[in-house]
Structure 1
Amino acid sequence: MAKLDPIPARLAALKDTTTVDLKRQWRELFDSAPPPYNRRYLESRLAYRIQELAYGGLKSESVSRLERLGDELDGGDRKKSRTRTDLMPIAGTRLIREWQGTEQVVTVTLNGFEWQGRPYKSISALARAITGTQWNGWVFFGLKNHRSRE
């Protein structure tokens, strides 16, 4: 008779585990203090670590390839690599915002944003150019709520 794999049940149990216990598991599995991130982050990293220890991690060739691909995407710029690409609008997207009675149209490009024919690397710099004041560009264009989402 084949023995059942306990890993799927252990992964499913993470959803019902208290945050205190998730942090305890983190200390055990990573041999370090848990980071100050949200519960969802802890769950996903713990799930990966549990599987990594049980089934093995990525091959060194895969890690090297991923690092090369990452460098190709962000040019080795660590700040760019921390930008969550899943939150970035797709290149070609048009962001439209009315500001002081004038419609402002911004195009998302592969390298940032374009407004009135000029390139901008950050959406906040662009919002500052439009308004003349300090703005969080994600909030200005309605891409992010100004209140944190818990």
Structure 2
Amino acid sequence: MTRPTRATQAPAAPPTPVIPAIPRDQVLSRLAALQTAPAAELKAQWRALFGKEPPPFNRPYLVSRLSYRVQELAYGGLKPETRARLEALGEQLDGGNVVLRRIRADSRPLPGTRLIREHAGVQHVVTVRADDFEYEGRPYQSLSAIARHITGTRWNGWTFFGLKGRQGV
């Protein structure tokens, strides 16, 4: 005796969310409303405009991405040629290395930035250059080397110059 077989069905894929078009005459009012919207409302709008759960990032991030998305849905996004060009430029920079893509390119201060630190009553000025740092007319490969020169002890250079833990540097 054989058992009857059941037809197996593949699990249904989740429905593709319908992203609403935004009329152009509503863009300014929606952008203004984002600035004062509570976090719960920002997250609800994220779900409606992106069709997925919002990331666990801070309010300014959510507001900036939602602002871009509102404008994108009203006026259109990047042209395919622009996207392709940006992707090609990214490939040139990181050679397709996914790990490099995840490292922030702006983790180092811009060349020309002057870092000023007072230590033992003396003001010390370091200039950030493209590939190194300049202190007292000499090149140094790291801020830690400069901090060691100034203090005579081992320091984390980023900490010594007040850069560690700051956003945007």
Query: TM-score by structure 1 length?
Result: 0.67
| 1:31 match | 51
What number of residue pairs does the alignment pair up? 135
**1:132 paired to 2:154:** yes
Determine if contact 2:42/2:63 at 8 Å carries over to the other structure: yes
Match of 2:68 among 24, 27, 48: 48
**1:15 paired to 2:35:** yes
Determine if contact 1:127/1:140 at 8 Å carries over to the other structure: no
Match of 2:86 among 58, 62, 66: 66
Structure 1 gap segments, 5+ residues each: none
**1:94 paired to 2:117:** no
Structure 2 gap segments, 5+ residues each: 1-22, 95-99
Question: Counterpart amino acid of 1:29?
Answer: L
1:6 CA drift (Å): 1.4
RMSD of aligned alpha carbons: 3.3
Check 1:17–1:112 CA distance in 2 against 1; reply closer, same or farther (3 A cut).
Answer: farther
Check 1:49–1:112 CA distance in 2 against 1; reply closer, same or farther (3 A cut).
Answer: farther
| 1:117 match | 139
| 2:11 match | none
| 1:78 match | 101
Higher relative contact order (Cα pairs below 8 Å, separated by 6+ residues):
2
Determine if contact 2:39/2:59 at 8 Å carries over to the other structure: yes
Greater Rg over alpha carbons, structure: 2
1:26 CA drift (Å): 0.6
Question: Counterpart amino acid of 1:118?
Answer: Y
Question: Counterpart amino acid of 1:18?
Answer: P
Query: TM-score by structure 2 length?
Result: 0.61
Question: Counterpart amino acid of 2:45?
Answer: Q
Check 1:23–1:134 CA distance in 2 against 1; reply closer, same or farther (3 A cut).
Answer: same
